[in-house]
C-alpha cells in the first residue's frame, strides 16, 4: 500500500538520512513507496544497511532520544518572568550580594516571557560600569528574543534611578523599538530590594532622536565613546537610517503583569 506522506517533508527526511548515514536516496525512496518511512530509523536492518551505515543510524537515534529528553527537562525548568515582582526577585538573587562593583545585565525573553538567556554586559568598579548598546543589540538578534529586561545594581544602596539609568533605558528602548523588540523593564537592585521602572510607570517611550550606539557610562563623570573593534554586522546595521523605520509605540505605563 502506497504511503501518503507529504512530499516536501518526506523528501527532506530522505535527504537528511542520506547525508547522515550514507544510505542512497534511491534505496530510501523505493522503500518509502510501500513501507513506513520511520522503519528506516526504528528497524534499520530491514533495509540491509552496511555496518558503517548501521552505526550511524544508531548514533542518530541516540541523538534524537537525548534531544527529546533534554527538551522535556528544559520545558519543566523554564523560568518565566511575567511580572515586575518576579523580575525583581530574579535579579535580586543575582545582584543583591554585590557591594563592591556595579554590574549591568540583560535577560532576553521569548514570546511567552520564558528566559532564553541572561547575560552580563558590563562590570566595573563602584559607579564606573560602561554599557555598550551594540553588544546588547547583537545578543538580542542572536537569540531572536521578543522582549528584554534590563537590570543593574547600585552598590551604594540607593534605589532611585539616576540620570544615567534613565538615559541608558531610553537609549535601548529607542534602539529596539523599530525591531519590534520591547524593553519591558529596568530593574535596579540595592541589597535585597529592587526598583522596577515599569512598575513605577517611568519606563521611557522610544525616541528616534535618541537612537545611538555610543557607549554609555553608568557614572556621569565617565563619558566615553565606544572604541574600535566593533562587529561588522552591527556596523552595517548602525548605518541604516533608523529615522525611516516606523517606531512601534510603547505604553508610558506598564502593567505589573506582562503576560500576553
- Are 134 and 234 in contact, with CB atoms under 8 Å apart? yes
What are 205-208's contacts with CB under 8 Å, separation 24+? 205/173, 205/249, 205/250, 205/252, 206/170, 206/173, 206/174, 206/177, 206/178, 206/247, 206/248, 206/249, 206/250, 207/170, 207/174, 208/174, 208/242, 208/243, 208/247
- Are 13 and 37 in contact, with CB atoms under 8 Å apart? yes
Lookup result for grid cell 562587529: 231
- Band of pLDDT at residue 249, cut at 50, 70 and 90: very low
Question: Dihedral, CA atoms, 39, 41, 47, 49, nearest 10 degrees?
Answer: -170
Indicate if the pLDDT at residue 206 is higher than 60.
Answer: yes
pLDDT digits (tens, 9 = 90+) for 207-223: 766 676 667 666 644 44
- Band of pLDDT at residue 35, cut at 50, 70 and 90: confident
Phi, psi of 252, rounded to the nearest 5 degrees: -70, -30
Indicate if the pLDDT at residue 254 is higher than 70.
Answer: no
Question: Dihedral, CA atoms, 170, 176, 177, 179, nearest 10 degrees?
Answer: 170
Q: With CA atoms as reference, report the closest residue to 176 among 157, 215, 149.
A: 149
- Mean pLDDT, range 168-190, rounded to an integer: 94
Q: What percent of the chain has pLDDT over 70?
A: 76
Task: Please tell me the predicted confidence (pLDDT) of residue 231.
Answer: 42
Q: How many CA atoms lie within 13 A of 88 on its CB side?
A: 19
- Band of pLDDT at residue 255, cut at 50, 70 and 90: very low
- Mean pLDDT, range 2-30, rounded to an integer: 87
pLDDT digits (tens, 9 = 90+) for 115-171: 999 999 988 765 566 888 999 999 999 999 999 999 999 988 899 998 889 989 999
Indicate if the pLDDT at residue 182 is higher than 50.
Answer: yes
Q: Distance between CA atoms of 25 and 40, rounded to whole angstroms?
A: 12
Indicate if the pLDDT at residue 6 is higher than 90.
Answer: no
Task: Please tell me the predicted confidence (pLDDT) of residue 33.
Answer: 86
Amino acid at each position: 500500500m502506497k504511503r501518503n506522506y507529504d512530499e516536501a517533508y518526506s523528501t527532506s527526511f530522505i535527504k537528511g538520512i542520506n547525508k547522515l548515514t550514507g544510505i542512497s536516496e534511491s534505496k530510501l525512496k523505493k522503500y518509502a513507496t510501500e513501507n513506513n518511512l520511520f522503519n528506516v530509523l526504528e528497524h534499520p536492518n530491514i533495509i540491509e544497511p552496511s555496518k558503517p551505515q548501521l552505526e550511524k543510524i544508531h548514533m542518530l537515534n541516540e541523538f534524537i532520544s537525548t534531544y527529546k529528553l533534554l527538551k522535556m527537562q528544559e520545558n519543566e525548568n523554564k523560568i518565566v518572568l511575567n511580572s515586575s515582582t518576579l523580575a525583581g526577585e530574579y535579579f535580586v538573587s543575582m545582584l543583591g550580594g554585590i557591594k563592591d562593583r556595579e554590574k549591568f545585565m540583560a535577560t532576553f525573553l521569548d514570546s511567552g516571557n520564558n528566559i532564553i538567556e541572561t547575560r552580563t554586559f558590563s562590570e566595573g568598579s563602584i559607579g564606573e560600569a560602561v554599557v555598550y548598546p551594540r553588544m546588547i543589540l547583537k545578543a538580542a538578534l542572536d537569540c531572536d528574543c521578543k522582549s528584554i529586561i534590563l537590570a543593574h545594581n547600585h552598590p551604594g544602596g540607593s534605589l532611585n534611578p539616576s540620570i544615567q539609568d534613565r538615559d541608558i533605558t531610553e537609549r535601548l528602548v529607542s534602539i529596539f523599538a523599530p525591531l519590534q523588540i520591547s524593553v519591558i523593564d529596568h530593574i535596579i537592585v540595592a541589597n535585597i530590594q529592587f526598583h522596577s521602572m515599569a512598575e513605577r510607570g517611568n519606563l521611557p517611550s522610544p525616541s528616534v532622536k535618541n537612537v545611538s550606539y555610543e557607549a554609555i557610562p553608568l557614572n556621569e563623570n565617565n563619558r566615553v565613546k565606544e572604541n574600535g573593534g566593533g562587529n561588522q554586522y552591527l556596523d552595517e546595521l548602525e548605518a541604516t537610517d533608523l529615522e525611516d523605520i516606523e517606531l512601534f509605540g510603547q505604553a508610558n505605563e506598564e502593567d505589573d503583569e506582562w503576560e500576553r
